[in-house]
């Protein structure tokens, strides 16, 4: 038995070193890879994707999806949760959320707890671990989280009516963020913060278009992220009138459906590893019809 234990210790060390080396090599490849080209195209009926590439005030790769809430086939979904549980959600990646519910588009949602990320071996949550969103949340008429931190909330009615901080009708879907970014097309006063990966959701002036924005970050040479003020200005540039900041950092992820499952449009940076998705609490997803 002692001999087995002695053998196990060096084996575990070798595996750990191998994982660290793999993370380093992966990180070098991701930050040195060529930046993508700007693009603008229709993904589904009523859904447009824009990749906005900027070099000033620093390198930024920005992903924008505009959803026409009046287009045929558009339907929205916030991750379902169990209101009977103290921690109502099981953590999953944004790709898993999209695949689990056969969605066409998804982004990460509200902040959540418990959470920590110390090393690639010491983090929480893993896939399946229980967590709770910080703000108000509801999915298909089931409210499973009350606001705990005076967070702003996006309310989405069954008929796709959308509004921030006040439901247009009976609460159907709802998801929260940590602060508002835009009001009447202008950045909220006092927005601060260092350049980071960001996720935000916005509405146009008529509340007809739902806009998802993800900015990649923490990847020097590729994309270094945006400040909160820059994020607000980016959203306004792409037609946002009101906007809310969602969970960012290693959580920021945007995915769409592909023939092989989820296609990650951005470059997540979980556990300091570019390209690695973080299991998060809730998400915001979209059902859409294929292009004719």
The DSSP symbol for 92 reads: B
d(CA 170, CA 115): 32
| pLDDT value of position 148 | 86
Q: What would the DSSP string read from start to end of 56-121?
A: SSS-EEEEEEEEETTSTT-EEEEPP--TTSSS-EE-B-HHHHHHHTT-SEEEE-S-EES-EESSSS
pLDDT number for residue 22: 55
The answer to whether residue 263 sits within a structural domain is: yes
Q: Domain residues for 271?
A: 36-287
Global pTM exceeds 0.85: yes
Q: Which of 163, 170, 269 is CA-nearest to residue 206? A: 163
Q: Which residue has the tokens 């999209």?
A: 98
Q: Give the residues of the chain that fall short of pLDDT 50.
A: none
Residue 168 covered by a domain: yes
194 with 253, same domain: the answer is yes
Indicate if 163 and 263 belong to the same structural domain: yes
Q: Are residues 154 and 199 in the same domain?
A: yes
**Domain total of the chain:** 2
* Position 257 in a domain: yes
pLDDT for 283:
99
In terms of Cβ atoms closer than 10 Å to its own Cβ (0-12, 13-18, 19+), residue 27 is middle
pLDDT of residue 10: 61
Alpha helical stretches, state H, 122-241: 228-237
Give yes or no: residues 94 and 12 share one domain.
no
Give the separation between CA 291 and CA 146, rounded to whole angstroms: 38
Within-domain flag for 170:
yes
Query: Tokens for 225?
Result: 């992220």
User: Model confidence over 103-152: pLDDT tens digits?
Assistant: 999 999 999 999 999 999 999 999 999 999 999 999 999 999 999 889 99
3 and 76 inside one domain: no
Q: Are residue 100 and residue 238 in the same domain, yes or no? A: yes
Can you give the pLDDT at residue 8? 52
In a domain, 221, yes or no: yes
Residue 292 lies in a domain: no
One domain for residues 22 and 115: no
- Let me know whether 67 and 110 are in one domain: yes
- In terms of domains, do 59 and 25 share one? no
Give the pLDDT confidence score for residue 18 in this predicted structure: 60
Do 26 and 111 belong to one domain?
Answer: no
Asked whether residue 280 falls in the same domain as residue 160, the answer is yes
Cis peptide before 269 (omega within 30 of 0): no
Of 106, 107, 124, whose CA–CA distance to 115 is shortest?
124
Place of tokens 């590439």: 53
> Are residues 57 and 6 both part of a single domain?
no
89 in any annotated domain: yes
Q: Please check whether residue 43 lies inside any domain of the structure.
A: yes
User: Considering only CA atoms, which of 62, 21, 93 is closest in space to residue 233?
Assistant: 62
């Amino acid at each position: 038995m002692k001999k087995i234990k002695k053998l196990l210790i060096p084996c575990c060390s070798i595996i750990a070193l191998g994982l660290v080396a793999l993370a380093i090599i992966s990180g070098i490849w991701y930050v040195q890879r060529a930046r993508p080209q700007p693009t603008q195209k229709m993904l589904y009926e009523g859904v447009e994707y824009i990749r906005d590439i900027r070099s000033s005030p620093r390198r930024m790769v920005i992903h924008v999806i505009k959803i026409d809430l009046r287009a045929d086939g558009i339907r929205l979904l916030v991750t379902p949760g169990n209101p009977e549980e103290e921690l109502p959600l099981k953590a999953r990646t944004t790709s898993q959320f999209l695949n689990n519910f056969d969605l066409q588009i998804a982004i990460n949602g509200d902040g959540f707890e418990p959470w920590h990320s110390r090393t690639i071996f010491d983090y929480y949550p893993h896939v399946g671990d229980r967590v709770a969103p910080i703000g108000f949340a509801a999915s298909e008429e089931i409210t499973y989280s009350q606001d705990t931190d005076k967070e702003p909330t996006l309310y989405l009615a069954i008929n796709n009516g959308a509004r921030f901080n006040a439901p247009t009708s009976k609460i159907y879907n709802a998801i929260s963020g940590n602060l508002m970014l835009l009001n009447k097309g202008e950045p909220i006063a006092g927005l601060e913060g260092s350049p980071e990966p960001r996720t935000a959701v916005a509405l146009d002036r008529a509340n007809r278009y739902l806009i998802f924005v993800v900015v990649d970050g923490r990847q020097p040479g590729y994309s270094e992220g945006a400040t909160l003020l820059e994020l607000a200005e980016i959203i306004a540039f792409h037609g946002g009138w009101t906007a809310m900041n969602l969970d960012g950092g290693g959580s920021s992820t945007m995915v769409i459906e592909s023939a092989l499952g989820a296609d990650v449009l951005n470059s997540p940076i979980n556990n300091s590893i570019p390209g690695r998705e973080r299991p998060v609490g809730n998400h915001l997803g979209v059902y859409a019809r294929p292009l004719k």
